Structure 1
Amino acid sequence: MPLQEYGQTLPLLLATVLLVAGIGLPRLRSRQPLWLRATGRIVIFVLLTMLVQRILGSPLRPRFGVINPAERLWEQLIEMGWWMLGARGAVALVRLFVVLENKPQETQIVSDLLAGAIYVATLLAIVNFAFAVPIGGLLATSGVIAIVLGLALQNTLSDVFSGIAVGLERPYRAGDLIWVEGAIEGHVVHVTWRATHIQTGHNNIAIIPNSVIAKARIVNRSLPSTVRGDAIEVTLDARARPEHCVDTLTAATLACRLPLPTTTIQCTKLQGDGNVYAINFTVPSSGVLGAARTELYTQVHRHLRHAGIALAVSGVAVLPPITPPTPRDLLAQSDLFSVIDPVQRDLLAAHFTDIAVQAGETLIRKGETPQALFVIASGTAEITADGPEGPHVVYRMSPGEVLGAIALITGSDFGVTATALTPLRAFRLDIAAITAAIKTSPDLEGALEALAERDQSALRHDAAVNADLTIERPEMFLTRLRSFLRVLRD
């Protein structure tokens, strides 16, 4: 049968097949990339446009058949399908350029609104072009309805459009740690049309309307990196020299075990009842910020006390002086020597000598034979040990800690090197002084033996600077201690 005898039937059938393909195939290929699905829709839409022009002339000025009502309805359905397929192609392009796959969910709000606007415009076009119904009255009626709905849903619409602004600007995304004005801080969990969901540090979910968050001040802790900066302020005795205060605070920051990559100390205010000092520091992530602040406050308190610097009291210009701990006080507070009888401990403390060490100088060196032990009075010392990749830091000593006692008592060579990070003051007790103290009071020998019965954690605290020494067996340590005391007697 010649093709001409089919009339409009064959083009209508082909157009119907293309409509089915345009609507159904993208669903079957939903796992394909978005750009591939969009390209397929556009190709089908172009082919359908060519057939619609063959059947109806211009899709914008369609000429429907008037003889056969069934054929006219078919043509109207093809016209309606052409508009719908065009709308789907436009939505695919919008999603392709506005929100690519694997992008944050916030941008989905923008693409959904644009898609909704496209479908509404398409519906009006279908009513006007496919069914020849004037839309002027419909638009006027819908405008009145829109005004009524807008007034009724004012707050909800404000949240929606604020969500659009957030989606366009992208000040944060799911997973970011943000601070929102109003003391709300946490990780962004979800962003919806109406609100942003934030998981706080107390493991609660704070739901903030988008209209509120769009007007609030926001700090994104995750951008440009996870490194977090913070600052603490301390107010110190106005009579203390600022340079001495800055040196002491510097030693406190260097003594922290948690890494503080960047630290600056500034005197920000001078006043009669105390001078204000700001310690600015950074930490690798917000997760360790609380621990870093706690350790920093602890070290600041410790170093100020050993330096004889008092914390200021508001409204009090003259504070009672603080006396730095003496060797007797340091031994009494020491985890290692506190077990010794106070009388014998004071006798031992009387033989300490006061020394000053400049920054960069060494107190002990790896491989050397111990000749003395040290008690840190002020400043910070860094303990380094050799490893497969070279020297590495194993510990940082603060005022009040004992250095080298275990190695001296057991006669083991130093396994590490101790270097002054800051100008450092220490009390030194050498072998000759211990011998003189034992000769003065033989009971001191028995007091020193009590060290071997100490809790292993107290011994290991000093052994951390003697990496080659094992003190897991107390009886072995006691034997070495007695050998040391025997050598002193002889």
Structure 2
Amino acid sequence: MSFSIAHSPVSQFLALVALDIILSAAILRQHPLSRLLVHIAFFASLTTLLIANGIEPYRPGGEDVSMAQGLFAGMAKTVWWIGGAMVLVSVVRMVRTFEKHSREGRLLQDVLVGSIYLGAGLSVVANVFSVPVGTVFATSGVLAVILGLALQSTLNDVFSGIALNLGRPYSVGDWIELADGAKGRVVETNWRSTHLLSGSNDLIVIPNSSLAKATLTNFSTPDESHGITLTLSVAPVRTPAATEDVMRNVLLSSNSILKFPPPSVTIASISNSAIEVELSCRVADRTLAASAKNELYDLAFRHCRAAGLPLAGQDLPLLPQPGPNQHGDQAHTAQTGSASRLLASIPLFAPLTDGERETLSTNMSRQVFPRGAVIAEQSSTLRSLMIVRSGVLLVTRYELGAETELTRLAPGDCFGEGGVLTDVEEVGKITALTFAVVYEISQETLAELMRERPALAEELGVMLSQRLEAEHKLIGAFRSSSNDNHPHSLAQKIRHLFKLQRAG
């Protein structure tokens, strides 16, 4: 090798190495594409520098040179091979960045990066130190066998992790459940294990080897929606067809389940003691399953009461409608009793005494709406408090050229309380989704009751505040933020509207 170590080649070499470290490791650490370009420029410049000075980094050096020359050549060749490996590693990381798989391809990327650096190390051994690679493998075979036996479990987890990443039966963020009952959301996958976060916020660590052999259910594929099934038992006092209609109203009035695919009702069995009904539907996400089930159970209870359909084994006062053979006082008595029990089941009227609820129920009027009837228009101010006796109502709002569903009302829900108590407009249009029966309490009836009992304004203010707060969470984007929903402020508005004196 005709090469004399001068200050200039060494200085250029050290300057290139320093510049690459500063740019790639310090300045451009968060810019993968820029780091790749810097590594390519460094590798090309280093190749040009070494060849210009008579050093062929891809060939083992066999000439007799001084110790200083040999030391520099060996160091330069080693850096050259490492530089080439860094270019390939940067390419691998860029491919993963473009695919935007933040975690899924992590194990595969690590395997490729490790293989690249292993190849670079063997190349340094062969071309810098002139040691036959075959000899290295032969001498390390016994050590590899020993390490393989010692790390058998770890290697099993590692290769199982690679297989899971290639097969992708799940991804980070998916909800999965194993055959042994362990279930949770995948929060991390690494070389050895997969981490699940359970519904109780506990971390479950499962070795990849165990996960690769297990039968698992992925609740997040092919989409995030999750199916739920409820079984209810009702007393056989109505025909199965009538029971099915009541349960369809239960599903129709739910705000938690998906409307598509359509939910279904199945009569599972019938006997002298009960009719078993299965309700099947889907929710947008598995985390909503519990709240959706609770809502459906509550709606089933309310719709069954409204339809005079007791649950199996239930012995509660229902809310029967006046029958076709009831006339005059008989029908009026049935309606009044039904209305009184309906008021007792509504939290808004919980502060009232039995006598006050009886007074209200006597003056309530019964309104019937066919399917599709518009009960209240958007932005209208209702002068009566309306209570759903039976059926399902839909509340929608037309905004910015589109109609949006806000909520659905079921038996026991009421509307119009904002208008009758505080002169507030309705936030949406209210339409009957099914045949509906609604009881109406006029503003004059409420005014007469509150004049006899002024303290009722405070109690109604508290209850109305709770209702408006729940409504604000649902439709806060549509209601003005200037509305004051504090109980004291609402009570003042009620007193002002009804011209009441403060209770002393």
Asked if TM exceeds 0.5, the reply is yes
Return closer, same or farther for 1:103/1:354 CA change in 2, 3 Å cut-off: closer
Cross-structure match for 1:442: none
Return closer, same or farther for 1:308/1:130 CA change in 2, 3 Å cut-off: same
Q: Does 1:184 align with 2:183?
A: yes
Aligned counterparts of 2:466 and 2:42: Cα–Cα separation in 1 = 79
Q: Is the 8 A contact 2:258 2:282 kept in 1?
A: yes
Helix, strand or coil at the partner of 1:196: strand
- Please show how residues 249-288 of structure 1 align to structure 2 within 5 Å: 249-256=247-254, 262=260, 264-273=262-271, 274-283=275-284
Q: 1:399: Cα distance to partner?
A: 1.7
Q: 1:224: Cα distance to partner?
A: 7.4
Residue identity matched to 2:14:
V
Q: 1:151: Cα distance to partner?
A: 1.9
Whose Rg is larger? 1
Return closer, same or farther for 1:384/1:82 CA change in 2, 3 Å cut-off: closer
Cross-structure match for 2:460: 456
Q: 1:28: Cα distance to partner?
A: 0.5
Return closer, same or farther for 1:290/1:57 CA change in 2, 3 Å cut-off: same
Cross-structure match for 1:440: none
Q: Is the 8 A contact 1:234 1:277 kept in 2?
A: yes
Query: How many residues are matched?
Result: 452
Q: 1:363: Cα distance to partner?
A: 4.2
Cross-structure match for 2:3: 8
Cross-structure match for 2:234: 237
Cross-structure match for 2:64: 66
Q: Is the 8 A contact 2:257 2:281 kept in 1?
A: no
- Please show how residues 66-465 of structure 1 align to structure 2 within 5 Å: 66=64, 68-98=66-96, 104-168=102-166, 176-181=173-178, 182-186=181-185, 188=187, 190-216=188-214, 217=216, 219=218, 221=220, 228-237=225-234, 239=236, 240-256=238-254, 262=260, 264-273=262-271, 274-283=275-284, 289-312=289-312, 323-325=318-320, 326-335=338-347, 342=354, 346=358, 349=361, 356-363=368-375, 375-382=387-394, 396-401=408-413, 418-427=430-439, 449-450=452-453, 453=456, 455-457=459-461, 460=464
Aligned counterparts of 1:327 and 1:293: Cα–Cα separation in 2 = 28
Return closer, same or farther for 1:400/1:203 CA change in 2, 3 Å cut-off: closer
Question: What's the Cα RMSD here?
Answer: 4.8
Aligned counterparts of 2:434 and 2:152: Cα–Cα separation in 1 = 63
Cross-structure match for 1:35: 33
Q: 1:29: Cα distance to partner?
A: 0.9
Return closer, same or farther for 1:98/1:215 CA change in 2, 3 Å cut-off: farther
Aligned counterparts of 1:446 and 1:48: Cα–Cα separation in 2 = 94
Q: 1:139: Cα distance to partner?
A: 0.6
Aligned counterparts of 1:446 and 1:331: Cα–Cα separation in 2 = 15
Residue identity matched to 1:115:
V
- Once the two structures are superposed, residues 420-469 of structure 1 have per-residue CA deviations (whole angstroms, 9 ceiling, x without a partner) of 2221134567899x8xxxxxxxxxx779834862512477389979x999
Aligned counterparts of 1:296 and 1:404: Cα–Cα separation in 2 = 24
Cross-structure match for 1:3: none
Q: Percent identity?
A: 26
Aligned counterparts of 2:227 and 2:72: Cα–Cα separation in 1 = 70
Q: Is the 8 A contact 2:310 2:318 kept in 1?
A: no
Aligned counterparts of 2:252 and 2:120: Cα–Cα separation in 1 = 68
Helix, strand or coil at the partner of 1:278: strand
For 2:20, which of 11, 21, 26 is the aligned residue?
A: 26
Aligned counterparts of 1:335 and 1:74: Cα–Cα separation in 2 = 87
TM-score, length basis structure 1: 0.71
Q: 1:330: Cα distance to partner?
A: 1.9
Aligned counterparts of 1:9 and 1:148: Cα–Cα separation in 2 = 47
Q: Is the 8 A contact 2:382 2:426 kept in 1?
A: no
Q: Is the 8 A contact 1:261 1:282 kept in 2?
A: no
Aligned counterparts of 1:139 and 1:119: Cα–Cα separation in 2 = 16
Aligned counterparts of 2:344 and 2:409: Cα–Cα separation in 1 = 18
Q: Is the 8 A contact 2:306 2:319 kept in 1?
A: yes
Aligned counterparts of 1:264 and 1:363: Cα–Cα separation in 2 = 26
Helix, strand or coil at the partner of 1:29: helix
Return closer, same or farther for 1:49/1:391 CA change in 2, 3 Å cut-off: closer
Helix, strand or coil at the partner of 2:412: coil
Q: Is the 8 A contact 1:357 1:425 kept in 2?
A: yes
| Stretches of structure 2 lacking an aligned partner (at least 5 in a row) | 321-337, 472-478, 484-488
Return closer, same or farther for 1:15/1:282 CA change in 2, 3 Å cut-off: farther
